[in-house]
Structure 1
Amino acid sequence: MKKFLLQVERNCISGALVLLPLLVFFVLLEKVWKFFQNYGEKFAHFLRLDLFLGKYATDIAGGMILLVLIYLSGFLMRLALLRRFTNWVDDKLMIFLPGYEKNKKEAEEKLNKRKKKPSTDVPILLKNGEFWQPAHLIEEDANGNAVIFVPTAPAKDQGQILIVKSTDFKKLSETTLGSLDASIKSLGKGILSFK
């Protein structure tokens, strides 16, 4: 019975830690949307959009104001003073909102994936004693040295950076980085078929 109660207590605490950041996020989102709806209603009435769009004019105009504000904020972020201020706000939010840092990193990763940056990484297998380990080849020099990144499963973006000889690994020329990363995330499933 004691084990069951401890498990219930752990589950309740874990659930609260998951739900609290989500609740705060949705409350903030609701407040921000109400703010823009208020100005959207005035803007829609000023442009007479409410005559032919009806009750949806408020939402459409508020959304347009929000998008224009986000777009203009992108230009303002180039100013060093504003960048320092937003970094300060981020630091404070990380202290007072549990899970903010993790959610921010996930959002940044998703945005970076959309930008589709060209990658110079090459999937490889690193010789490590008697076994081979999946890794990314970052760069090579003319002296036969190479910088590689060895991810720690299941996180594809955490691991070790090593400098090795070019003879200590083999390139997987028929394998993409995406399939290597997916295999690392699934704890090695599918690596045996890589070439």
Structure 2
Amino acid sequence: MKNFLLRVQKNCISGIILLLPLVVFFMILEKVWGFFRKYGDKFAHLLHIDKVLGTIGSDIIGGIFLILLIYFSGYLMQFSFLKKIADWIDDKLMFFLPGYEKNKKLAEEKLIKKVKKPSTNSPVLLKFDTYWQPAYLIEENTEGNAVVFVPTAPAKDQGQIYIVSTADIKRLPDTTLGNFDASVKTLGKGILSFK
């Protein structure tokens, strides 16, 4: 009986964790849609579209308003002042909402469908005092200097950039970027086998 109650409790908690973001999303969607539908209703009444199409006319006009707002917001983002305001809001949201940055990047990738450029970075190990740290070799010059990016695990696209001597770099020519990225995401698992 105790196992059954624990299983019920676990399933209920899992259900809440699954449904809570969905409920919040649909509540926000309902508020936004209600706002645009209200003005769509007024505009449809003004143009007598509601007499022709009925209540669906206000939905159509509200949808058109929403699409136009999204389009013109994207157009306004080309102005640097508004971009700075949007970046400031993003910074505040990243601070107050955990996971916002990760979800924003995922949404941007899905919406924009970015074509991933082939990366010229090569995986290396960078010597710090008595230990080696995984890094990406970004570029090097003929004077023996190199630019490396040391990721902050598990995020492979966040970290620090260093200019170091090429003598402090151990190249990993047999290691693919995919394997290296996977190792960084799993906090270093598998790095000892890289060559």
Aligned pairs (5 A) from 1:57-76: 62-76=62-76
Q: Which runs of 5+ in 1 are unaligned?
A: 1-14
Give the CA deviation at 1:147. Answer: 0.9
Give the CA deviation at 1:85. Answer: 4.3
Match of 1:121 in 2: 121
SS at match of 2:96: coil
Go from structure 1 to structure 2 and tell me whether the alpha carbon gap of 1:145 and 1:66 turns closer, same or farther (over 3 Å shift).
same
Go from structure 1 to structure 2 and tell me whether the alpha carbon gap of 1:145 and 1:87 turns closer, same or farther (over 3 Å shift).
closer
* Mapped contact 1:137–1:146 kept (Cα < 8 A): yes
Aligned pairs (5 A) from 1:40-55: 40=40, 46=49, 50=53
Match of 1:5 in 2: none
Letter in structure 1 aligned against 2:35? F
* Mapped contact 2:156–2:184 kept (Cα < 8 A): yes
Aligned pairs (5 A) from 1:130-145: 132-145=132-145
Match of 1:184 in 2: 184
Go from structure 1 to structure 2 and tell me whether the alpha carbon gap of 1:106 and 1:49 turns closer, same or farther (over 3 Å shift).
farther
SS at match of 1:189: coil
Letter in structure 1 aligned against 2:49? F
Letter in structure 2 aligned against 1:29? L
Match of 1:98 in 2: 96
In 1, the alpha carbon distance for the partners of 2:120 and 2:183 equals 19
Go from structure 1 to structure 2 and tell me whether the alpha carbon gap of 1:91 and 1:117 turns closer, same or farther (over 3 Å shift).
closer
RMSD over aligned CA atoms reads 4.2
Give the CA deviation at 1:62. Answer: 3.8
The 10-residue stretch of structure 1 (147-156 or 59-68) with the greater mean CA deviation from structure 2: 59-68
Give the CA deviation at 1:43. Answer: 5.0
User: Percent of counterpart pairs with the same letter?
Assistant: 49
Give the CA deviation at 1:170. Answer: 0.3
* Mapped contact 1:127–1:133 kept (Cα < 8 A): yes
* Mapped contact 1:172–1:194 kept (Cα < 8 A): no
In 2, the alpha carbon distance for the partners of 1:194 and 1:64 equals 55
* Mapped contact 1:156–1:185 kept (Cα < 8 A): yes
Q: What TM-score, normalized to structure 1?
A: 0.61
Q: What TM-score, normalized to structure 2?
A: 0.61
Letter in structure 2 aligned against 1:153? A
Cα deviation code 1:113-170 (max 9, x no counterpart): 8323534432223345665432111221121211111123223233332222224220
In 2, the alpha carbon distance for the partners of 1:59 and 1:173 equals 58
Go from structure 1 to structure 2 and tell me whether the alpha carbon gap of 1:193 and 1:30 turns closer, same or farther (over 3 Å shift).
farther
Letter in structure 2 aligned against 1:170? R
* Mapped contact 1:37–1:62 kept (Cα < 8 A): yes
Match of 1:158 in 2: 158
Q: Which runs of 5+ in 2 are unaligned?
A: 1-15
Do residues 170 (structure 1) and 166 (structure 2) align?
no
* Mapped contact 1:123–1:173 kept (Cα < 8 A): no
Q: Which has the higher contact order (CA 8 A, sep 6+)?
A: 1
Give the CA deviation at 1:25. Answer: 6.1
* Mapped contact 2:122–2:138 kept (Cα < 8 A): yes
In 2, the alpha carbon distance for the partners of 1:121 and 1:98 equals 33
